[in-house]
Structure 1
Amino acid sequence: MTPRGVVLLTDRLVARGDLVDVVAGAVRGGVRWVVLREKDLPRAERAALAVDLRAVLTQAGGTLIVAGPDPLDGDAVHLPAAGPYPPPAVGLVGRSCHAAAELARLGTEDYVTLSPVWPTRSKPGYGPPLRPDKLRDLIRRSPVPVLALGGIETPEQVTACVDAGAVGVAVLGAVMRAADPTAVAATLTRVFATRTPITDASPEETT
């Protein structure tokens, strides 16, 4: 199974509380996929954090994905556009992409993120933003399901991404910075549930 719906990316440096507590709140709000970032931590600390987050997600039937090639004793990773190629042989592999040339390099990946859709506070100046029209064009070129990423904070933005063909939206600041992560996650997941992605894993052929 590939990620769908609202996917949460972690950032303990902007979280308004303990990271595990924030993630638990998001899970109570309906989030079932979480990407553990925190790449600056030593492996031992990051692995311990992965154990705690998996415990939270397992109770809800969710899945933890680890950013980078090391799955931290799990079976799911999310890789940067730069590599490694080919991906490691684990159960679930995602990759960050930003342009058609990166989509063309995909091999055995199960899904991708396309970003940034809108300007993002997490990476100011990163872009230029795709906006929904460019996002739609790249989704049509992608051989695998697409999560929209970057600057997604409102129900209207979730709707625009799903209407463009995304099978889910990856969010960070909207939940990490929220005073009530459960309420924000519930709002965004509810909006997603009311929409039906136009495209899935069957892109239009391009020449």
Structure 2
Amino acid sequence: MKSFNLHLYLVTDEAAKCRHSLLETVRKAVDGGVTIVQYRSTNPDAGTCYREALPIRDFLAARGIPFIVNNRVDLALALDADGVHIGQRDLPVPSVRAMIGPDKILGLSVSNMDQLRAVDASLVDYLGMGPVFPTISKLNAPPVLGVEGFAALASRSPLPVVAIGGLDAERARQVRATGTAAGIAAVSAICGAEDRKPPHGRWPDCLPGNAGKKPFFQTPCLHHPALSAPSPQIWKKSGRRPRWFSP
């Protein structure tokens, strides 16, 4: 059984693009309010990725923060990661679910209505949707949605949605104001920050119910249509489908 909070989602950038080591970047980001971390690398050398990701996984496990691996199911299994995030050109969702089992978190990237309609909500736990704004962290990214386009698409989702793509604290506020995002994902805005924390400490403050720093899993996710109770909400993974619940 897994619980996860999509509130503020860090996707790591390539180590060479970060001002500091990936591990140090993740440490400071968690101190700054990040609630879930995805390890993303384009390095084809699995051994190098494993050695780079292992200390990050161990640090996050000690802090109770979910550790997700992008794309590489083999790497996720070797690391015993909490989950995998895949894109539209990666292995099919049913195959990935079969490989990782029912208790791991599975995220899927979508960028248009056709992809959203094809989502099997019985197999996927959350969606990464974007890019909301132009992004420099991913080559060959899909067309930009914009805030209104994101909101229109996210409002049709049967699953919680994490906004991604060119987001900084101010843009995150714009997305949050639509009431359609369960979380905000950041890449270069955090990995490239001088102090490695969410810039100027403003990221947690731009999210509802998270002014200042509060303990992990005690702050509500961004407003989502599935949320109606005023009590704190988190995602609880049980079997193949998560459900909203109030602890």
Pick aligned residue for 2:89 from 71, 82, 86? 82
1:130-156 CA-to-partner distances (Å, cap 9, x unmatched) read 1111111111221111000000012x2
3-state SS of 1:182 partner: coil
Q: Residue in 1 aligned with 2:225?
A: 199
Gap regions ≥5 residues in structure 1:
203-207
- Cα distance in structure 2, aligned partners of 1:170 and 1:110: 16
Deviations 1:6-41 (A, max 9, x none): 111111121001111111111111112111011314
2:9 corresponds, among 7, 10, 28, to 7
Mean CA deviation greater in 38-47 or 185-194: 185-194
What are the ranges of 5 or more consecutive residues in structure 2 without an aligned counterpart? 211-221, 229-247
Aligned counterpart, 2:149: 134
| Superposition map of 1:1-207 within 5 A | 1-11=3-13, 12-68=15-71, 69-70=73-74, 71=76, 72-74=78-80, 75-85=82-92, 86=94, 87-89=96-98, 90=100, 91-107=104-120, 108-123=123-138, 126-154=141-169, 156-164=170-178, 165-184=180-199, 186-194=201-209, 196-200=222-226
CA distance in 1: counterparts of 2:137 and 2:90, whole angstroms: 22
Q: For the residues of structure 2 that align with 1:199 and 1:185, how far apart are their CA atoms?
A: 30
TM-score, structure 1 normalization: 0.88
Q: 1:17 to 1:150 in 2, by over 3 A?
A: same
Is the 2:162–2:182 Cα contact (8 Å) retained in structure 1? yes
SS of alignment partner, residue 24 of structure 1: helix
Q: Please tell me whether the aligned partners of residues 30 and 185 of structure 1 are also in contact (alpha carbons under 8 angstroms).
A: no
* Deviation larger for 71-80 or 90-99: 71-80
Residue 95 of structure 1 and its aligned partner are, at CA, apart by 0.8
Q: TM-score by structure 2 length?
A: 0.74
Do 1:143 and 1:201's aligned partners in 2 also have CA atoms closer than 8 Å? no
Q: CA deviation at 1:179?
A: 0.3
Indicate the percent of aligned positions where both proteins have the same amino acid.
Answer: 27
Distance 1:53 1:185, change over 3 A: farther
RMSD over aligned Cα atoms: 2.2
Q: 1:162 to 1:199 in 2, by over 3 A?
A: farther
Question: Which whole-Å CA distance do the structure 2 matches of 1:51 and 1:187 have between them?
Answer: 29
Which segment drifts farther, 157-166 or 112-121? Answer: 157-166
Structure 2 residue identity aligned to 1:163 = A
Q: What residue in structure 2 maps to residue 205 of structure 1?
A: none
Distance across 2 between alignment mates of 1:166 and 1:88: 24
- Mean CA deviation greater in 5-14 or 85-94: 85-94
* Cα distance in 2 for residues equivalent to 1:183 and 1:170: 11
Shift of 1:177: 0.6
